Structure 1
Amino acid sequence: MSTSDNNNKDHKNNGTNKPSKLENIKKSHKELVDRRGEEARIVRKIVSIVLILLTIFIVVGGISGYLYIRSALEPVDSKDDSKIEINIPLGSSTSQIASILEDNGIINNSMIYRFYIKFNNAAEFQAGDYTLSPSMTLGEITEKLQTGTVMKEAVLRVTVPEGKTIEEIAAIYEENANVDKKEFMEKVNDRTYIEQLIQAYPSILSDEILEEGIRAPLEGYLFAATYQFYKENPSVETIVEEMLKKTEEVVTPYLEQINEKDWTVHEALTMASLVENEARSEEDRKIIAGVFYNRLEDNMMLQTDPTVIYALGEDIDRVYNKHLETDSPYNTYQNVGLPIGPISNFAENSITSVLEPEETDYMYFIADDDDGEIYYAKTYDQHEALVAKYLRDRD
């Protein structure tokens, strides 16, 4: 065989064994497709696992929630017919009633019971003494509370007017409920007792009432109302706690508004006590609240006379210039901003006036010495003119 023939044969073999460029491209494409297919399968597996887990979570959560609610709606113990005596005080809210029932083992869950009451439009629960059982259904309990016997007639009725200090309230109970005023004041100034009350009424009471300089921790927190008692000689604790329950009942609907103003309950009640002592009508209270806001925004002193009277700690008919110099955290002629705490209790329209004040440009106001008529001014010069016209000399 010639050399030429061998070369031709080698050439043919090389052409047969070496992959062409097109074949390489096809091979790479196939590998890419295979790799992407494998990745897609992995992704589908992951998604499937996640969906399965999510479905299991939802199902388990739904079943757990269903079982929780069903359990709360069932009797505490259908086999337990033991009799439990409970008392629903007058003026109790549905929330308080639910808590009493749960605390006494009559229902499983106070929150679920409140929803049950709302869903069934149950209302007009009767205050009184009841004999209930853990075996009773929510429907039976609700019916019992709606048709129960109202508590017996009150032995004592004591009316506490608006704008009263805690010392004046103590005197009212001494006169009308045979309660020793000194004992009353000692109890409401007992730090240990006050700390217990803060724990019991956290929505309205806070450590602010124990700040240094506060004259009486519960000043302003004993709401003005008529209170009924079913014992001839109610204890100071009974009186105080009945009054705090009333304050809680009145203030609670306004907690969201108070929070929106970025105020504490203590600050809101302090402002309400000032408005209470400065005006008689709701119209004037709203305007005066607006004046106070204007002065606070301008970093001006509130300069309200009732705070001076409270700072003095004595009942005076008229505030003179010498009184304005009284050194006290309550004196708004000496301190910028609100006083350290309330100076009296208040009517509900005083708190609404504080939360919904009349917006005006007034910066000043005075009350006529003769008839109590209130006059407003936008400027200091206008204010001075009103002072000269309607107020007697303060010296």
Structure 2
Amino acid sequence: MTTEDKQKQKQEIRKQLLRERGEEASIVRKIVTACLLLLIIAFGVTGYSAYHYIKGVLEPVDVTSDELIDVHIPIGSTGTRIGNILEENGLIKNASFFRYYIKYKNESGFQAGDYQLSKSMTMDDMIAALKEGTVYQEYALSFTIPEGRWLESILNTISEETNHTIEALTEKVTDREYLEGLISKYSILTEDILDERLRWPLEGYLFPARYDFVEENPSIEDILETMLKRTEQIVGKYFEDLEESEYTIHEIMTLASIIEGEAQRTEDRYKISGVLYNRLKINMALQVDPTIAYAHGQHFSRTLYEHLDIDSPYNTYRYAGIPIGPINNPGEASIKAALQPEDHKNLYFYADSEGNVHYSETFQQHQEILRKYRN
């Protein structure tokens, strides 16, 4: 091969390499362009989806609804608890989003009280309503019963707000003939409330809420039955759960009262309910401190071993199973939790000094938690 031929061959090879590199570069450019387009589309779809999700959460749950739903916001409620209450009542779609949304908007100043809200309201509408506070018409008598109060505390409140004496109130709520009449009138009440071992027959059934009366001094019967009607309305919302439950309404209200006495946070109500159910399944004593305080008739800052010796049907350390009756008057969140326990394997729980609840499956794990947090 001549020198000239070799030169031509080299030139052809260079041209071939350049063509191949050009083709490769073109392919790479196409791939990069395609990837960029896919990324742009992905971001667009994500952004579009996020926009519509946020828009959907902020919009009314049911724009066509004209039903007014009674909602009670307890004193000292955090944004988290308010969000949970609204979600539990079907007024918003996501409690966590509500919490982040009010933080994002720097919303504060929510007012405790009883509200009538609708599923046709937007989240912003509800925020505005809760900040303005409850607008009430002029009532001759109004009083509020917080969650978890003992019946004697409720009677004291009624006595202080009306001209009814403690003696008259006590006589009425222990009148067997009157109680039998109530049983025939309200589906939430059964023969269980006539058990003579109960401290108070109507304990657990006087719903905690704000009550307003047009009359300046309504009768004892009117006051009590207004409270019983409210309980029946709340419990009626969970009729299907009650139908499916293995426990009676009286037992459910008793479990709800225990949950009310133990839980500070909504999420813990369902977990603690799960613990109670797990213990009942294996016939393990419930061993819950609020029942001991109720058995003694006085609140303790801390339950001691000496308190556990009391021989009472309310003593869940001495007697297994559900106690003979409620130990306070629970709110809706606790009633719902008693009917919808969280499914888990925990048998123990302990609330530390900051209100955080620690759960464990075994007694050994529970003891380790106690050693860590009790000191």
Which residue pairs with 2:327 in the alignment? 343
Q: Which residue type is aligned with residue 278 of structure 2?
A: N
CA distance in 1, matches of 2:137, 2:298: 41
Which residue pairs with 1:265 in the alignment? 249
CA distance in 2, matches of 1:91, 1:246: 12
Which residue pairs with 1:291 in the alignment? 275
Aligned pair partner of 2:284 in 300, 306, 316: 300
The question of whether the paired residues in 2 share the 8 Å contact of 1:272 and 1:354 is answered with yes
Aligned pair partner of 2:207 in 183, 208, 223: 223
User: CA offsets, 1:337-370, max 9 Å, x none?
Assistant: 11000001111111111111111111100111x2
Q: If you compute each CA radius of gyration, which structure gives the higher value, 1 or 2?
A: 1
Which residue pairs with 1:164 in the alignment? 149
- Post-superposition shift, 1:175? 2.1
Which residue pairs with 2:51 in the alignment? none
- RMSD between superposed Cα atoms in Å: 2.0
- Post-superposition shift, 1:180? 1.6
Q: Which residue type is aligned with residue 359 of structure 2?
A: Y
User: CA offsets, 1:25-81, max 9 Å, x none?
Assistant: xxxxxxxxxxxxxxxxxxxxxxxxxxxxxxxxxxxxxxxxxxxxxxxxxxxxxxxxx
- Post-superposition shift, 1:215? 1.2
Question: TM-score if structure 1 supplies the norm length?
Answer: 0.59
Aligned pair partner of 1:385 in 358, 368, 371: 368
Which residue pairs with 1:129 in the alignment? none
Q: Structure 1 residues 152, 390: CA separation in 2 closer, same or farther (over 3 Å shift)?
A: closer
CA distance in 1, matches of 2:167, 2:369: 43
The question of whether the paired residues in 2 share the 8 Å contact of 1:286 and 1:356 is answered with yes
Which residue pairs with 1:188 in the alignment? 173
CA distance in 2, matches of 1:91, 1:281: 22
CA distance in 1, matches of 2:275, 2:283: 12
Q: Which residue type is aligned with residue 339 of structure 1?
A: P
How many equivalent residue pairs?
244
Q: Where in structure 2 are there 5+ consecutive unaligned residues? A: 1-67, 71-115, 117-135
Identity of aligned residues (%): 48
Of 178-187 and 343-352, more deviation after overlay is shown by 178-187
Counterpart check, 1:360 vs 2:351: no
CA distance in 2, matches of 1:262, 1:251: 16
CA distance in 2, matches of 1:333, 1:376: 19
Q: Which residue type is aligned with residue 181 of structure 2?
A: Q
SS at match of 2:144: strand
Q: Which residue type is aligned with residue 192 of structure 2?
A: E
SS at match of 1:204: coil
SS at match of 1:169: helix
User: CA offsets, 1:192-212, max 9 Å, x none?
Assistant: 1111111111x1011011113
The question of whether the paired residues in 1 share the 8 Å contact of 2:257 and 2:328 is answered with yes
SS at match of 1:366: strand
Aligned pair partner of 1:373 in 331, 356, 359: 356
Question: TM-score if structure 2 supplies the norm length?
Answer: 0.62
Q: Which residue type is aligned with residue 328 of structure 2?
A: S
Q: Which residue type is aligned with residue 160 of structure 1?
A: I
SS at match of 1:362: coil
The question of whether the paired residues in 1 share the 8 Å contact of 2:274 and 2:344 is answered with yes
- Post-superposition shift, 1:308? 0.3
CA distance in 1, matches of 2:243, 2:322: 17
The question of whether the paired residues in 1 share the 8 Å contact of 2:264 and 2:355 is answered with no
CA distance in 1, matches of 2:299, 2:212: 29
Which residue pairs with 1:45 in the alignment? none
The question of whether the paired residues in 2 share the 8 Å contact of 1:255 and 1:265 is answered with no
Task: Compare relative contact order (CA 8 Å, sep 6+) and give the higher one, 1 or 2.
Answer: 2
SS at match of 1:341: coil
Which residue pairs with 2:295 in the alignment? 311
* 1:123-272 equivalences in 2 (<5 Å): 153-201=138-186, 203-272=187-256
User: CA offsets, 1:228-277, max 9 Å, x none?
Assistant: 01122222111101000101111112122112112211011011000011
Q: Which residue type is aligned with residue 316 of structure 1?
A: F
The question of whether the paired residues in 1 share the 8 Å contact of 2:351 and 2:357 is answered with yes
CA distance in 2, matches of 1:177, 1:365: 41
Aligned pair partner of 1:321 in 298, 305, 308: 305
- Post-superposition shift, 1:311? 0.4
- Post-superposition shift, 1:91? 9.9
Q: Structure 1 residues 178, 91: CA separation in 2 closer, same or farther (over 3 Å shift)?
A: farther
The question of whether the paired residues in 1 share the 8 Å contact of 2:149 and 2:329 is answered with yes
SS at match of 1:208: helix
Q: Which residue type is aligned with residue 172 of structure 2?
A: K
- Post-superposition shift, 1:152? 6.9
SS at match of 2:322: coil
SS at match of 2:238: helix
- Post-superposition shift, 1:317? 1.8
User: CA offsets, 1:318-340, max 9 Å, x none?
Assistant: 21001111111111001111100
Q: Which residue type is aligned with residue 157 of structure 2?
A: I
Q: Which residue type is aligned with residue 363 of structure 2?
A: Y
Q: Which residue type is aligned with residue 145 of structure 2?
A: V
The question of whether the paired residues in 2 share the 8 Å contact of 1:158 and 1:177 is answered with no
CA distance in 2, matches of 1:344, 1:187: 19
